[in-house]
Chain A
Amino acid sequence: MSRMAEAVWAELAGIVGEAQLNAEASVCEAFAVDGQTPGCVVSPGSAEQVAQTLDYAAGHGLAVIACGGATKLGIGNPPGKFDIALCTRNIANVRYYEPSDLTAGVGAGMALDELQDLLKADGLWLPLDRSASGKATLGGVVATNASGPLRQFYGAPRDMVVGMQVATTEGKLIRTGGRVVKNVAGYDLGKLLIGSYGTLGVITEVNLKLFPLPAERQTFVLSTGTLGIARDVRRSILTSPIEPLRMVLLDAETAGLVHSGVQSDRLKKTEPQIWVEAGGSKAVIERTLKELDALGRAVGSKVHAYEREGAEKAWQAITDFSNWIGKRYPGAVVLKGTMPIAHSEEFLSLAQQEAQNEKVRLASVAQPGVGILHLGLLDLQNATQSAGLISRIRKAAEKSGGALIVISASPDVKAQVDVWGTPGTGSELMRKLKATWDPKGTLAPGRFVGSI
């Protein structure tokens, strides 16, 4: 309690109850963002409590950063102010679930893995990758529009959310969308919230479109020798009739790291690899193998079938790349590039060149069928070197019409380079939208695009 004024403590305790309020230094430290530690951690037990907390904070000039499992809490520019960490983890109930309708509504604090376990019993899933930590919540996943390798086939949370309840800083609970899978009534305010990183409102409930689990799944790995070969393989796959559920390109560095956790002796670990997961009936999987074999042979690449258990673990590690690199290599910088898909390999090659020039190690996971790449810069010397390297790699992404965001970097790196890059022509409108939703700048002030 030493970290915050007694009056504030009393007010917040009045809203959420003392049991859901914590101001112990060690707890608050765990929610620190860019060196700023909140005065307390509030974990409301209901959507109403979230709304009341926001209303109180807005009325008293306190800054709030919301999170679920806190796996992506670090993404953003350094906050202008950070008083309260608002954790939605206690709002994790199932609001409704109709397996035959393929829809469910759950509290934002429910862990993605928890939901997957529930759905699995009915042969369903939300086709988003589980991550190794297992901590990501639905609210957090939606607020960051977080996706993994499954994006190849199923798309992003943006394609799966059919409705939401959100608490605003005016203390209201607002609904967007609805419960049915097709609905175009009114402005699609949900789209603004998806990927808004908690800067407009705090998501308290998400209504989701569910999907049947594929009958069988099988992972195949192709060693691709060079990035040029990887590009040819990607092109062949994308113009072939097969429809991979997941597809990633791992560079040699990441391939080695993934395999050090998951043993598979038959694969060379010193070459880039394309991982493909096929899903469906046995016949579909056999056909996928046949097609991959043929297109692999054309470029001198052999296809390995990966055994099931190990494969899932490896996919979870791949999904968790950013956290995993950060933990393994303290001081590492993690970047996410997005670009038209055909630029993936060329961009990667440029990034590798830039890293090499600086004698920096680079590990990467690319989704070359989607145009999204995650890069880990390891063994960096100092913030100036990091910032310079980030700027040069960003230029390469922007040249292709894409963008580069900093997923993870130390505050001194962030002091030199904007996390989101240069805002585009819509930035003035974004600033106005922020002001409409959050007029007092209560939510994550300064953290988002254009420091809004």
Chain B
Amino acid sequence: MGPEGVLSRPEDLMLYEYDGLSALEMPEAVVFPTSTEQVVRMARLAAARKMAITPRGAGTGLSGGSVVTQGGIVISFARMKKILEIDLENQRARVQPGVVNTDLTLAVADDGYYYAPDPSSQKACTIGGNVAENSGGPHTLAYGVTTNHVLGLEVVLPDGEVIRTGGKCWDLPGYDLTGLMVGSEGTLGIVTEVTVRLLRTPEAVETMLAVYDRVMDATRTVAAITAQGITPAALEMMDGFTLRAVEQATHAGYPMDSAAVLLIEVEGLREAVKEQAEQIEAICGGNRVRSVRRAKTTGERALLWKGRKNAFGALGRISPNYYVQDGVIPRTKLPEMLEFIEQVGKKYDLQIGNIFHAGDGNLHPLLMFDARDRDQSQRVVKAAQEIMKRCAELGGSITGEHGVGMEKNELMPLIFSEDDLELQRQIKALMNPTGSFNPGKVLPTSKMCGEIRVQVSAGG
């Protein structure tokens, strides 16, 4: 790797002891491979020396996936960030894992294409990290998460073997190893190349901000839009507390005195967009909306989205720390769940901000706290656990797009039986027999339903 490809001084390593979630432990070294071959050599070295290796993209993850749990080496993909091939007629691109999400879209935008998964961190996060976590984003409502856009991978297995899964085409014979790898959080293999599909940029897009005086009216609107057979490209909700913080930070034009806003986007053929926007306005009108504002220019549209995509950061400005959750519920349970979250906030005396991918029932409650306050920190963990338990009880999931990582692995028994988990363990044992790849992630370490593992002292 060469001397410039390795970091080992403690002051350098400190940067790698945390991600978007938390800090736990410092790695012993960080290496920056430039080729698959170097990753292979790292895998072999790790196997021979019984060392742990943890792959890392931009470290924007929110479940601790790229943070080490037992020391070892971090493999950073910062130097493997080439777009290897853009193949527009086949609607595909081949990239190295370190390519930044937005950079891929920028590379094909002038030709009328884009890469659909759009996590809020898309200006920093990498395609490799997205593959590991099976990342989502606001537009996954219409287009699906990362797994629906990845067709092929090059993967380094723990013994150093390199395999290619899938390719540029669908339905290649054999088990869907690509589908297994996506979302496996670097615990089954390390991805060194990704083949993705590119979508055509829609002809027209309409972005609307619907403002409400009552949260319930916003959630009812969400249900009514779905019930009328409209699938917006995105359907986001922010409560009053959150939108005020966002407005102060980004001046996107969100009204400071409202109880909730919906950010609704429809896109496609001009005719369809016009009709759907009108239908949505009518639905909002039927649910006591205060006002519906349509973005008139691309600048205005970008500003509305900037508010949404920087929401976590905006809350970071007003609270020393926050803990963001990623629960999913059936979308009809949205009003009920919001009420529940409010009660939990009261019970534990915590301020909770709500940002939802409302259209698909994916919730991001943000629990505000000050990590220096030990008691408050403990209440945050308890409150978060109650919220996740409720998501599971309502038939939902503990993570919709952020991944399990080392945060929620002990909560897996909330949604999986011991038999389910045993099979997942067997799959892991078969692919990563020594456990050298990203240990301590995804699967619970004990058979009992445990606790959220979040080092809240550094959260935020």
Contacts and interface: CB of A to CB of B under 8 A. Distances in A.
Interface of A: 98-103, 123, 145, 155-156, 158-159, 168, 172-176, 178-192, 194-196, 200, 211-213, 215, 235, 238-239, 241-243, 280-281, 283-284, 286-287, 336, 338-342, 370-372, 401-403, 405, 420-421, 423-427, 429-430, 432-434, 436-437, 448-450
A427 B177 CA distance: 10
B90 A187 contact: no
B362 A284 contact: no
A437 B423 CA distance: 8
A433 B175 contact: yes
Contacts of B169: 338-341, 371, 401-403
A377 B124 CA distance: 51
B151 to A, nearest CB: 10
B390 interface: no
A295 to B, nearest CB: 15
Nearest to B165: A426
Given A123-B229, A176-B420, A181-B360, 13 more contacts: A175-B417, A178-B397, A183-B328, A184-B399, A188-B179, A191-B182, A192-B175, A195-B175, A215-B229, A238-B91, A243-B268, A284-B272, A437-B423
A208 to B, nearest CB: 13
A168 B423 contact: yes
A427 B165 CA distance: 10
Contact of A103 (B92, B330, B397, B399): B330
Interface string B421-460: 1011011101100000000001100000000000000000
Contact of B168 (A401, A424, A429): A401
B229 A213 contact: yes
B4 interface: no
Contacts of A187: 180, 183-184, 188, 424, 427-428, 442
A178 B395 contact: yes
Nearest to B228: A212
Given A158-B176, A175-B416, A178-B415, A432 B430 contact: yes
B171 interface: yes
15 contacts: A123-B229, A173-B419, A179-B396, A182-B361, A183-B399, A184-B183, A185-B404, A187-B427, A188-B147, A192-B176, A200-B175, A241-B200, A287-B271, A420-B174, A425-B162
Contacts of A424: 163-164, 172, 174
Interface stretch (B8-16, B49-57, B132-140): B132-140
Nearest to A159: B148
B329 interface: yes
B416 A281 contact: no
B110 interface: no
B423 A189 contact: yes
Nearest to B201: A241
Contacts of B421: 186
B270 interface: yes
Contact of A280 (B227, B269, B402): B269
A194 B171 contact: no
A434 B274 CA distance: 50
Specify which of A158, A403, A420, A426 lies most central, judged by the most chain B CB atoms within 10 Å of its CB. Answer: A426
Contacts of B202: 241
A31 B416 CA distance: 35
A24 to B, nearest CB: 35
A339 B442 CA distance: 34
Nearest to B424: A187
Contacts of A433: 175, 427, 430
Contacts of B308: none
A430 B176 contact: no
A213 B133 CA distance: 32
